[in-house]
Amino acid sequence: MNSFDNIELIIMILSIFISCICLYITFKTKRRYERLAIKLGNGEDISHILKGYIEKVDKLDIKENAILNYCKDIDEESRKNLKKVGLVKYNAFDDTKNNLSFALAFLNESDSGVLFSYVYNRYNNSTIFVKEIKNGESKSELAREEIEAVEIAKKK
């Protein structure tokens, strides 16, 4: 054997020795990780627990999206609700007092809704009128007090 063969043999033996040490350290580290994972998981492998949590989070995301869509639908539907109110009390005739007549407007966000007018008179001929309001306007002619009630409601 020449000296190169000896050097090659020594390098090969050293490489095998270093590889064995690396494998030993790797297996020891893996064993430590597994013990730690079981210890943290109270006897169960923590990776299984984490997978379960990830599945639960995914299910929560789906539920959250469903809730957000439901809230969006409710918001859209609530735009149609009568939310804005305008009230004007007045005396319809010179011989009445205490503002017993009124115009009452109920409107939604697009200023559509209904207008109630109650005209009081002393002689038991009090009358209630109902008029439809679309986009802040009525097809019927409105009295000054009715217009004022609609305008009050539109500002809210």
Q: In the prediction, which pLDDT does 41 show?
A: 65
DSSP per-residue letters across 120-155: --TTS--EEEEEEEBTTB-SS---HHHHHHHHHHHT
Q: In the prediction, which pLDDT does 1 show?
A: 59
Q: Which positions of the chain have pLDDT values less than 70? A: 1-2, 4, 41-43
Q: In the prediction, which pLDDT does 152 show?
A: 96
Hey, where are the domains in the chain?
A: 34-78, 84-154
Rounded (10°) CA dihedral 15, 21, 22, 25: 180
